[in-house]
Amino acid sequence: MLADREKILPGDDVWIPTVCAGCYNCCGILAHRVRGRIVEIKGDPEAANSRGYICAKGLVRALDVHHPYRVTRPLKRTNPEKGIGVDPGWKEISWDEAMDLVGRELERIRAEDPRKLILSHFDIAGYRLSGAFGRAFGTVNMHWNRADYCGSASHPAWLITNGTLNSEVDFERCRYVVLWGTQLGHMVNTISLTAAAGLAEGRRRGHKLVVVDPFCSHAASKADEWLPIKPGTDGALALAMLHVMVCELGVYDVSFLKHQTNGPYLVRSDGRYLRDGATGKPLVWDLKDGCAKPFSDATLADPAIEGKFSVAGATVRPAFQVLKDYLATIRPEEMARICTIPLERIRRITREFCTAASIGSTIQIDGHTLPLRPAGIDFKRGMAAHRGGWNSCFAIHMLNLLVGAVDVPGGQRGVNPVGPYWSAGVSEDGLIIPSDFIAKYNKPYPGRTAAPPQTLDLQELFPAALFTRGLYPLGIDEPEKYGIPYRPEMMIHCRTNHMMNSHDPAAMAETLKKLKFQLSISLFIDETTEFADVVLPDAHDLERWDMFPANDPYAFIAPGPGQWYFLLRQPVAEPPGDAAPWTQIYLELAERLGILETVYRLGNAMWNLSEDCKLDPKRKYTMREIAELQVRSIFGTDFDMGRFARSSCAVLRPKTVQEAFPRMFLPSRVPIYLEYLLGHKQDVQKVLEQLGMQWDLSCYSPVPLWIPCAAHADDPEYDLIATNNKVPTHQFSTTTENLWIDEIAQANPYTYSVMIHTSAAQRRGLKSGDLVRVESRYGSYTGRLQVTELVHPECVLSSGTFGHWAKGLPISAGKGVNHNALLPKPTLDRIDILSGQIDMCVRVKVSKVGE
């Protein structure tokens, strides 16, 4: 066993510093252990991210550790039949027998074709470990989970502009904050505790907060203005705003566009860059010398961003002019009609945003004069999880880009694109690319070369995507349809619940049944674990060591000025029974398969271990030892690990101004015109032709398009659009088995309810408290109705991922509803062909089934 139980901090009545995993934010906490049992949790005052605070989800987790339904022994399925409601006939077996069963299957398929293995989890702290395992094993099918729940479409928008995965707004300086399909700063989303405090201070100081959302969410409730948009029409609103900004108001940051973007790059009539014959570099027009030069030419004085120029007989326009000409064709009245926000209101909001951006203003920080752009827009899953998700994200972000409010004081900013051991790079064309450390797997720009799919999530057909994890069911069900040369047979599953978080459970059940062998490493027998052949008991995260930093810094260390801090997750108590951390189980399996050395070799790179901290292939390491080497890689080999007895947080040093506000210090430019997509479009087209498939590739556009959802097509019988929102007390479905959270949710009129607008209820003769059935053409749920003014009249709204039915989840069973049950297995018209994002909105009808 590669266990390290003996290293748990001792004491009969102690507070042990560790890192919360109630969501993905990794807040520093102190857990109180009395005589071996965890009894309470509070924020760690010395942790730079939580500063002694903690949210409801984190605070209550002492209960979960003691949940009587936890799996504590390995289980084997005795009933070969699998399905919803089918009793697996669990039989307790020994750890060794379980590992033998799993090991034999793994050895068999590794010998046949290692790609038959799918690794599936949503545990961000462990991605680099399972990534190393997967590569060592030889599979490409890594990380089937519902990460597209939030970010398939939105992460690329930031990766190609901010050079990092996540986004925030400079709450300290911002005067005009727009939250678009996100509730950043309202105890959901990333950086939650610092963002909540920052936004609360901003409200006190008198910033303006505008929230775009079909539902008057917690964020919208705190906003100065709620823009209640029709679900999925965010791209239309953004394009209307862009039209007003550029074509009506004529407001944009000329200096920023000239020197910090590809706005001056000359574009040919076919949409591609005009390149220098000698260097291949994109050309720009120098207004001073009246000629075209490579963008990097040292003599370039005044690049043109507007106008039309003749170069070597061809008429070319700067990219910004192309964008401007395109925006002139947008009809704002039409966009306003689509998104249902009155045009006059759109005009006023845009004017306010432009004014607040204060183009031309500067601020002195540490001796540097930087632009001050105190207006910023953050956006995420609510607006992104639609068919036109990628284009809508880029349209919204364009509002930030055109006023220069990106990674400078006051505006929108990426989460730490530059750090102590990583930095955003620059492409041949002079544009920003995220560091290898940040991008981890794929870089949406420059992207990869399209090819016939080898991976079950079909990612090869999405060369400009970050990940396409929602598409695994397509590859698993019909690999031959996509030319995938093997059939998947095995899945190692933990910490994600496909049955709940994807689509119609009946369809997902068919997908899971196609896998001959499923190992689930689980805390509970949830709906997906019910399909397992072998279950190994997982340790709670309060019972395990974790990778250090416990979470990746591109997402969860507060961006902007402050300190570089990193947190260590350490166990507070021993796991019960045979339970072991899934990460340790991965290492044990690697050892059994004889691939541990390769895991170490790949891990050395994935974990960025320094020369004197690299794993020695001849040794064996526990998770704690690996975490310690990671600590020493960052803090130096003489770091005193004893410091973690006091706080899980260690501070490296203050951030420099270049790290806090990187834009003006970076050698790269930001794209406002996505020329590179045209190349990808051609490549994808060729591959599709080989496969005999036809996709509409119009979304591969250098300028952002309005792309409607399937749910926007008329369907008189299904006359409402269903969507869902996040609540601050719940995180995915992981919080639903907590007694206290459940009490709070039950006491809330909205959390477990189905919501429709008063007018929609009146037309149907429905009232609050009615039992209603919400039905799409693909699935349905039944829940209690709450009639409200807080929701768009064309919308049916529910919260979170509820409505569990597994016998192993006694608290959450039957409470709330599951929006995802309304969705079909992804079909072409419900996927963003560019990013792989699944469209989460769907047409439904609502009818009463009981009082």
* Residues at the interface with another protein (CB under 8 A): 34, 37, 39-43, 52-57, 59-60, 62-63, 66-69, 185-187, 192-193, 196-197, 199-200, 203-204, 216, 218-222, 226, 228, 728-729, 739-741, 743-744, 746-750, 757-758, 788-793, 810-811
Minimum Å gap between C-beta 68 and another protein is: 5
Q: Which is nearer to another protein, 584 or 723 (CB)?
A: 723
The position carrying tokens 């505006």 is: 411
- 583 CB-near residues (< 8 Å, 6+ apart): 126, 129, 544, 545, 546, 547, 623
In whole angstroms, what is the distance from residue 594 CA to residue 584 CA? 15
Q: Which is nearer to another protein, 741 or 817 (CB)?
A: 741
My answer on whether omega of the bond before 446 falls inside 30° of 0, hence cis, is yes
In whole angstroms, what is the distance from residue 348 CA to residue 616 CA? 62
Is-contact 817 723, C-beta < 8 A?
no
Minimum Å gap between C-beta 137 and another protein is: 38
Is-contact 541 21, C-beta < 8 A?
yes
Q: Which is nearer to another protein, 168 or 489 (CB)?
A: 168
Q: Which is nearer to another protein, 511 or 647 (CB)?
A: 647
Minimum Å gap between C-beta 263 and another protein is: 36
Q: Which of 360, 379, 373, 432 is nearest to 405 (CA)?
A: 373
* DSSP designation for 46: T
In whole angstroms, what is the distance from residue 153 CA to residue 467 CA? 9
Q: Which is nearer to another protein, 493 or 757 (CB)?
A: 757
Determine the 3-state secondary structure of 319 from DSSP. Answer: helix
Q: Which is nearer to another protein, 55 or 124 (CB)?
A: 55
Minimum Å gap between C-beta 67 and another protein is: 7
Minimum Å gap between C-beta 295 and another protein is: 45
Minimum Å gap between C-beta 33 and another protein is: 12
Minimum Å gap between C-beta 66 and another protein is: 4
Q: Which is nearer to another protein, 60 or 623 (CB)?
A: 60
Question: Where in 103-241 does DSSP place strands (E)?
Answer: 117-121, 141-142, 167-169, 176-180, 208-212, 225-227
Q: Which is nearer to another protein, 185 or 470 (CB)?
A: 185
Contacts by residues 209-212 (CB-CB < 8 Å, ≥ 24 positions apart): 209/177, 209/178, 209/179, 210/176, 210/177, 210/178, 210/179, 210/349, 211/178, 211/179, 211/180, 211/183, 212/178, 212/179, 212/180, 212/181, 212/237, 212/383
Minimum Å gap between C-beta 236 and another protein is: 17
Q: Which is nearer to another protein, 337 or 368 (CB)?
A: 337
Q: Which is nearer to another protein, 37 or 620 (CB)?
A: 37
Q: Which is nearer to another protein, 125 or 791 (CB)?
A: 791
In whole angstroms, what is the distance from residue 660 CA to residue 741 CA? 36
The position carrying tokens 């189980």 is: 585
Three-state SS across 470-523?
HHHHHHHHCHHHHCCCCCCCEEEEECCCHHHHCCCHHHHHHHHHCCCEEEEEEC
In whole angstroms, what is the distance from residue 800 CA to residue 748 CA? 13
Sheet holding 28-34, edge to edge: 13-19, 28-34, 37-43
Minimum Å gap between C-beta 196 and another protein is: 4
Is-contact 441 392, C-beta < 8 A?
no
Minimum Å gap between C-beta 688 and another protein is: 43
* DSSP designation for 312: T
Q: Which is nearer to another protein, 194 or 633 (CB)?
A: 194
Q: Which of 821, 791, 802 is nearest to 731 (CA)?
A: 802
Q: Which is nearer to another protein, 451 or 811 (CB)?
A: 811
Give 848: exposed, middle or buried? Use CB within 10 Å, 0-12, 13-18, 19+. Answer: middle
DSSP result, 685-736: HHHHHHHT-----TT--SS------GGGS--TTS-EEEEEE--TT--TTTTT
Minimum Å gap between C-beta 222 and another protein is: 6
In whole angstroms, what is the distance from residue 470 CA to residue 833 CA? 12
Minimum Å gap between C-beta 216 and another protein is: 6
Q: Which is nearer to another protein, 615 or 809 (CB)?
A: 809
Q: Which is nearer to another protein, 345 or 646 (CB)?
A: 345
For residue 522, list its beta bridge partners.
537
Q: Which is nearer to another protein, 742 or 839 (CB)?
A: 742
Minimum Å gap between C-beta 766 and another protein is: 16
Q: Which of 411, 416, 441, 446 is nearest to 428 (CA)?
A: 446
Minimum Å gap between C-beta 806 and another protein is: 13
Minimum Å gap between C-beta 262 and another protein is: 38
Give 689: exposed, middle or buried? Use CB within 10 Å, 0-12, 13-18, 19+. Answer: exposed
CA 671 to chain centre: 21
Minimum Å gap between C-beta 562 and another protein is: 17
Determine the 3-state secondary structure of 610 from DSSP. Answer: coil
Minimum Å gap between C-beta 714 and another protein is: 23
Tokens linked to 584 = 């340790």
The position carrying tokens 């009146």 is: 762
Q: Which is nearer to another protein, 230 or 830 (CB)?
A: 230
Minimum Å gap between C-beta 118 and another protein is: 33
Is-contact 836 826, C-beta < 8 A?
no
* DSSP designation for 8: S
Determine the 3-state secondary structure of 788 from DSSP. Answer: strand
CA distances (Å), origin 18, targets 126, 189, 567, 572, 677: 16, 21, 8, 8, 44
Q: Which is nearer to another protein, 43 or 371 (CB)?
A: 43
